[in-house]
Structures are given as structure tokens and as C-alpha cells.
Amino acid sequence: MAEINRKTVVVLGTGGTIAGTASSPTDNVGYAAAQLGVDALLQGQGNWLLAMADLESEQVAQLDSKDMDFEVWRLLARRCVHHLARSEVCGIVITHGTDTMEETAFFLQRVLGSAGMGTKPVVLTGAMRPASSIAADGPQNLRDALTLALDDQATGVMLAFASVMHSAVNVRKTHTYRLDAFGSGDGGPLGYVEEGVVRWVRRAEQGGGDAGELARLLPRIVSSRAAFPRVELVASGAGADAFVVDALLQHGQATGTPVRGIVVAGTGNGAVHHALEAALARARDAGVAVVRASRCGDGRVLPRSDDTFADCGSLTPAKARIALMLSLLAAAAPSI
């Protein structure tokens, strides 16, 4: 007979380096991502976990996360909604490639939070070395993620990586190779997983956004086939000009798939080269939503009274793009 009130953790697999293999156990770069299924990753994890909870797994996708797309995001959101609504499920773990992990985490935080589903944890994890590595980091990262998913204080979307816990709002990949490849900028980590024990140092931010706008997100993403609006990233720097912005507008006119929003990664405090700024102003006048972000790794864009465009605060350019895309999808005035 099943134990009353026994917890269940659901693990959703999407591929990535954690599921990758190489021909040599010493090759940590020339591997093929997404070769092993989520069940294979969980082998050896069940014995300790089953003493505390039941474990379920589901292969949602199998891809290198550099190739992550909106339809996989839509499917992930659907499966998270399904499992989080189950009373016996205490949390979800998602195995994911590191290239776009921060983007998936932020997307899920915004979408699941819009439905009030942030009371249970959704923990993303992955690896910097393939499963075939002589010193693979995936098994410990997965163990830490499962530990965090079982913690009574854990809520919302988080990352567990290299023994560090990050919020979906603050996390960003900061290194191309090191095992501790993620940081949380000025916000700092949420805490640490140390020898199977979670140590909290702060509570997670929930990601902002207009409450009415967010309430319209989940039905559109989970239940409909509404296309994600086209939002593009452009960068300002020395010699920046109108070429990319004008090309985006011309392409939209020629193909019938207009760009709906542009996030500009500015220098310093979100500053934009005057030639690029003029092109962005023309795009705005043509109905394109424009938001400023900063190329800097830390800090936030501080508003000024003479700003031409809205800013995204402390969001990275990649997350500002997602926030703007979701705002447009919710058919509301753009709000970061």
C-alpha cells in the first residue's frame, strides 16, 4: 500500500551536455549532446531518493540547448502545469543544456508564476562535462537538484549547479568552460547544497511583470497555438549604425512576419550609439516596441529623465527579450 502523503519528484529530460557522450573519457569539448535519455541519467540516483520520495521521469525533448526553441518551451510549460497540479508532486527537476538554461528558467518563472504555480519548486540543472567524462559533473548536479526539489522552503523556478542555488531571475551563464559556470550578478546566490543539505542565504525574486498581463500568459502558451511574437536582439558599440534595424524592418515587410519588438544591448548604462538610436526611433514610430538593456555582466540600467526608450532594469539582454516577447504575447502594453 502506498504511503499516505508520500512526496513525488518528477524529472523532465530535455537533453544537453548532461546527457552527452564523447568517444574518449578525457574529451570534455568534442562530445555530442543529448545522447542519453533521462532514465539513464537517473540510474544510481534512486536508492537514496526513494527513502524520501517517489521518482517519476519523462523525456520531454532531446536536443542540444543551443537549439532550444519556443515549441519545446511551450511543451515544457504544459508538462510543468500538469505535474504541479498533482497534489502528490512536491517539485520538478528539469535536466537541460547550459547554453540556454537561464532563458528557459526565466521563461518558466514568468509563465508558471502567472498562474500562481510558484509555490512548488521547479529546479533546472545540467552539466559542463558530458556523461562519458572521467570526471563528469552531471550526477552530483542532478543529486543536488533533487535535494533542492525536496526542500520544504524551495519555491519557484531555480537552478542547482556546482553546489550553488540560483534564482531564475538573476542567474546567467558566466563562463564557457569552468564547472561553476553560473552566477547571479548583484543579487547573489540563493544558497548552497552541501553534502545533501540545503543552506539558504536569501529568498528568490519572483520576476516582476504586470499582474494582469501575466494572468493572460498561461492560457495562451499552454492551451493555444498562438505564435510567439518576433523579438530580436541588436547590440550597440563602436561604429554601430542603422543597418541591422533597417534590415529587420525590411525583412518583415517582405515576408509578412514583422518584427514586433527589439531589445538593444547598449553600452554601460544602456547607452545607444546615436546612429543606431535614430534607427530604433524609426522602428518605434513604425509600431515596434523597443527596450534597452546593458552589455555589462553586472548592474542594472538606471533610468534617466531624457531616455528615449524604456529600460529592462536588471534583466540581461536575453531575459529582456523573453520578457518583451511574453508581454507582447499577452496582448498588453510592453512591460518589463
Catalytic positions, written as ranges: 17
* Contact present, 91 and 45 (Cβ < 8 Å): no
DSSP classification of residue 9: E
Beta bridge partners of 235: 265
Instruction: Strand 289-294: give its sheet, edge to edge.
Output: 231-235, 261-266, 289-294, 310-311
* Contact present, 112 and 327 (Cβ < 8 Å): no
The angle, 0 to 180 degrees and rounded to 10, between the axes of the packed helices 70-84 and 101-114 is 50
Rounded-to-integer distance, Cα 272 and Cα 288, Å: 17
Supply 57's cell numbers: 521521469
Q: Following CA atoms 14, 96, 93, 316 in sequence, which dihedral angle do they give, to the nearest 10 degrees? A: -130
Rounded-to-integer distance, Cα 175 and Cα 190, Å: 19
Bridge-based pairing of strands 89-95 and 121-125 is parallel
Rounded-to-integer distance, Cα 165 and Cα 157, Å: 11
Beta bridge partners of 271: 267
What is the Cβ-side half-sphere exposure of residue 301, based on CA atoms within 13 angstroms? 26
Rounded-to-integer distance, Cα 319 and Cα 208, Å: 12
* Contact present, 217 and 110 (Cβ < 8 Å): yes
